[in-house]
Amino acid sequence: MLTAHPAANRARGIAADAESGCFAPAGSDLDIAFWRVDAAGVQTLAKTWDYMPDNVDPHTFGEFATDVVLKGDVAWVIGASNGYHADDADNLALRGVLVPMDLHTGKVIGPVLVAPVTGAYNQSVFFGGGPHPDGVLVTGYTCDADCESYRVMSRTVPGG
């Protein structure tokens, strides 16, 4: 059984690893919470991760997780981050994120992908994903500033 982390609301995704353990990210108030349980049912991780690009102050952005994809020893945590993102710094916006973490330590092991602004569509969320021969496939939606106009999006991220 997963031990509740104080910041976590509930697990949003779970994936079994090759060693018969699992990794589970969660929604959270300010950070992405995540756990790992080994094949014997022993919890080996219970941590949070805070998106801090360019060394901004902690909790400048608010994040949540919606799913996870495991490929080898990498847990690709899928979700969103709310804040003033670099490519649209004047607007508070929710943006899809994909975070590559070491399955065993929870350490971020590569660049965090933040969904880009595409025309009038400056907000987005990644809801789910899966392994893809070229990496990881994520899917979600994107919308304009007021979320009056939506469209579905999917994206293949190399390296997974």
Whether residue 97 contacts residue 79, with contact meaning beta carbons closer than 8 Å, is answered with: yes
d(CA 156, CA 47): 27
**What's the CATH class of domain 8-158?**
mainly beta
| Distance set, CA 57 to CA 4, 35, 113, 128, 139 (Å) | 26, 24, 19, 28, 29
What are the sequence ranges of the domains in the chain? 8-158
Burial of 4 (0-12, 13-18, 19+ CB in 10 A): middle
Contact (CB, 8 A) for 148 and 113: no
Which are the contacts of 30, defined by CB distance < 8 A and separation ≥ 6? 7, 50, 59, 62, 63
Specify the pLDDT at position 4. Answer: 43
Q: Which amino acid is at 48?
A: T
Q: For residue 27, what pLDDT is reported?
A: 73
* Nearest by Cα to 102 from 78, 84, 75, 139: 75
pLDDT at residue number 64:
92
pLDDT in tens, the chain (160 residues): 334 444 445 777 889 999 999 999 987 668 999 999 999 999 999 999 999 988 889 889 999 999 999 999 999 999 999 999 988 888 899 999 999 999 999 999 999 999 999 889 999 999 999 999 988 999 999 999 899 999 999 888 876 5
HSE at residue 76, side-chain half, CA atoms within 13 A, is 26
What is the pTM for the complete model shown?
Answer: 0.89
First to last CA, the chain: 28
